[in-house]
Amino acid sequence: MTTTRLTKLLEPLQTSGWDALTLNPSPSLTYLTGLHFHLSERPVVAIFTADHAPVIVLPELEMLKLNGLPYEITAFPYPENPAEWDGVFRRAVQSLRLDGKRIGVEPRAMRLLEFRHVKAGAPDADFPDASDVVSRLRVRKDADEIAAMRKAVKVAQSALEATLPLLKVGMSEKELAAELVVQLLRNGSQSEMPFAPIVSGGPNSANPHASPSERRLQPGDLLVVDWGACVDGYISDLTRTFAVREVEAEYRKIHQIVLEANAAGRAAAKPGVPCANVDKAAREVIEKAGYGLYFTHRTGHGIGMEGHEEPYMRGDNMQLLEPGMAFTVEPGIYLPGSNGVRIEDNVVITEDGAECLSYMLRELRVVG
């Protein structure tokens, strides 16, 4: 698979106007090479060109990761002494004669640490943003990638179902989040999860990206749980909203509105349709119900090896959906100081429509 992906990279390298692409540890590096590295104080950089085997600069202690690769790679290992690192990076970059050339980078991933080492070997090079081209390689998932995401959805759903019976009034958001993490691991998620679960009740649920706090769940709360799992390097990202015992009629009402908006967004997803249409379909439901001011974010984002990647379901994004694209549909209504609702599913575009990978009950469930 990695050899096929490296071959796919050749065309943009030949037609984009770059002379090379350089990546540090990131999902894109793993996607292209199958190699996994953590960002740390020891820099790692891979450089790809159209006419040379990939070059990688890495710590000596990581060299065993290169054994048995199905493609040729030229390694420049460096020792523990940081004083020797810059010289190794210079030799690696200069071996490709990149000074004065155009070296593509991913600005959201490339740290100043690695950038300075690469630039030292090519001080007169230009470093254009390669994000769009790299994204186009990753945005259409193949059958194996979709299968991994399907498993990640199943793991996440099973984990939350196993957690809900443990939920009690008086439990803190942090305590519930901890139980959920345990169940994610028990049900098969990799330990490096896509994000820390969001568990937010009552007024905290009106903050879309709340962090679990010491606040204890109370009767009348809406409880938003936004969680995901990781399987074979691919993620799921789901949200369900629950009622902690009996809740006010307005809260049931806004949950029903979000439920309908979620369904409308999923129904709008088809090949050849602009991403904007998915956002508009969900948003129109909420706006017509009079809660448009309380839906404060886009309707969804791409998923795959990252929790947020292309394509984005925004009202201004005219990118056309294509088979293999995977993303979330997650409308919400957030009433400040009161309660909030979000319902999020994972969708993949097929040749003639869309498949929703997630199937956990979306209707309002009473817990506690």
Residue 202, domain CATH: 3.90.230.10
80 and 227 belong to one structural domain: no
* Cα separation, 293 vs 26, whole angstroms: 36
DSSP single-letter state for residue 157: H
What is the domain range of residue 25? 2-138
| pLDDT value of residue 125 | 98
- Whether 107 and 187 share a structural domain: no
113 shares its domain with 86: yes
- Residue that finishes a domain, picked among 138, 173, 197: 138
Q: Which of 138, 157, 184 marks a domain boundary?
A: 138
Whether residues 52 and 134 share a domain: the answer is: yes
41-45's contacts with Cβ under 8 Å and 24+ in sequence apart are 43/85, 43/89, 43/111, 43/113, 43/114, 43/117, 44/114, 45/89, 45/92, 45/114, 45/117, 45/118
pLDDT in tens, 311-351: 999 999 999 999 999 999 999 999 999 999 999 999 999 99
Place of tokens 């956002």: 279
What residues pair up with 349 in beta bridges, in sequence order? 354
Please identify every stretch of the chain with a pLDDT value under 50, giving residue numbers as ranges. Answer: none
pTM of the model: 0.95
| CA dist list (Å): 136 to 5, 11, 139, 274, 325 | 12, 12, 5, 16, 10
pLDDT digit string (tens) for 272-295?
999 999 999 999 999 999 999 999
- Please report the pLDDT score of residue 14 as a whole number: 86
Closest-CA residue to 305 (of 277, 321, 326, 329): 326
153 & 288 share domain: yes
CA angle 360, 365, 368 (to 5 degrees): 120
Cα–Cα distance for residue pair 282/258, rounded to 1 Å: 8
Same structural domain, 199 and 117: no
My answer on whether 266 and 134 are in the same domain is no
At residue 17, the pLDDT reads 87
Report the pLDDT value the prediction gives residue 15, as an integer from 0 to 100. Answer: 87
Same domain, yes or no: 325 and 283: yes
How many other C-beta atoms lie within 10 A of the C-beta of residue 184? 25
Q: Are residues 331 and 193 in the same domain?
A: yes
Query: Could you tell me if 169 and 54 lie in one domain?
Result: no
